[in-house]
Amino acid sequence: MILESFPVGVLGCNCTLLGDEAAGEALVIDPGDEVGRIARRLSELGLRLKQILITHAHIDHVGGALKLKRLTGAPILMNQADLPLLRMMDQQAAWLGTEAPEVEPPDESLADGLVVGLGAYPAQVLHTPGHSAGSVCLYFKPLDLLIAGDTLFAGSIGRTDLPGGSYAQLMESIRTRLLPLPDQTRVISGHGPETTIGRERVANQFLRELH
């Protein structure tokens, strides 16, 4: 198994590459920027990209998706509740003072319960609205791994003041979808360092009110 996570773009969105050497396949989650570097890494590893998975449609997570799709032919999957955010890409770019990337609607919606990923490494889609209406987490149960997007961070939670955000929904998503996961679940968040569900359960002060 190949699992690499590295920050891309000015906001340092953690882009994750998961590969299965035996099958020669990979998936990429949140190629927000630096698509050339991501594509180069895939070819260095000799992996064919099967899916581009988007945790939510903020520019720093989805910005490079269409470029990567055009380079590799891989489909883009994103929850459809974030389509309004995708249509606001010019506005999102203006918030950052950058140029808007070209975007297109996803090839398929990351609907709750859908199983995506690679044959050897399947992931269940957990719809976790709150940071945005279409935010999802990807739970690779056989790997004890959660890709959390901007829903949960080490010691923090996602902001809820952007369009489609809701603090009440975010807390409900974390309570009902993430905290039931086993303590040993490794969490790769959308920004910053890795953590585990167990560590956040005891040490994340934003989650105190959920106990």
In the bound state with Zn ion, the residue whose beta carbon lies nearer, of 9 and 19, is 9
In the bound state with Zn ion, the residue whose beta carbon lies nearer, of 58 and 69, is 58
From 41, 33, 35, 43, select the one nearest 4 (Cα to Cα): 41
In the bound state with Zn ion, the residue whose beta carbon lies nearer, of 19 and 130, is 130
DSSP state of 33: S
Count Cα atoms within 13 angstroms, Cβ side, for 77: 24
Q: Which amino acid is at 202?
A: V
In the bound state with Zn ion, the residue whose beta carbon lies nearer, of 117 and 164, is 164
User: Under a CB-based contact definition with an 8 Å cutoff, are residues 194 and 188 in contact?
Assistant: yes
Partners of 189 in the beta sheet? 149
Partners of 135 in the beta sheet? none
Nearest distance from C-beta of residue 207 to Zn ion, angstroms: 19
Among 18-26, 51-59, 93-101, 181-189, the segment contacting Zn ion (CB under 5 A)? 51-59
Q: Which residue is nearest to Zn ion (CB)?
A: 58
Nearest distance from C-beta of residue 82 to Zn ion, angstroms: 10
Which residues contact residue 44 at a Cβ distance below 8 angstroms, ignoring those fewer than 6 apart?
A: none
Q: Which amino acid is at 123?
A: A
β-pairing, 76-77 vs 48-53, is: parallel
Q: Does 127 bind Zn ion (CB under 5 A)?
A: no
Q: Which two tokens stand for residue 138?
A: 């990807």
Q: Rule CB under 5 A: choose which of 110, 150, 185, 200 binds Zn ion.
A: 150
Q: Does 33 bind Zn ion (CB under 5 A)?
A: no
In the bound state with Zn ion, the residue whose beta carbon lies nearer, of 72 and 79, is 79
In the bound state with Zn ion, the residue whose beta carbon lies nearer, of 96 and 179, is 96
Among 9-17, 82-90, 96-104, 147-155, the segment contacting Zn ion (CB under 5 A)? 147-155
Which residues contact residue 101 at a Cβ distance below 8 angstroms, ignoring those fewer than 6 apart?
A: 59, 63, 64, 66, 67, 89, 93
Interaction with Zn ion in 151-210: which residues (CB under 5 A)?
A: none
Q: Does 58 bind Zn ion (CB under 5 A)?
A: yes
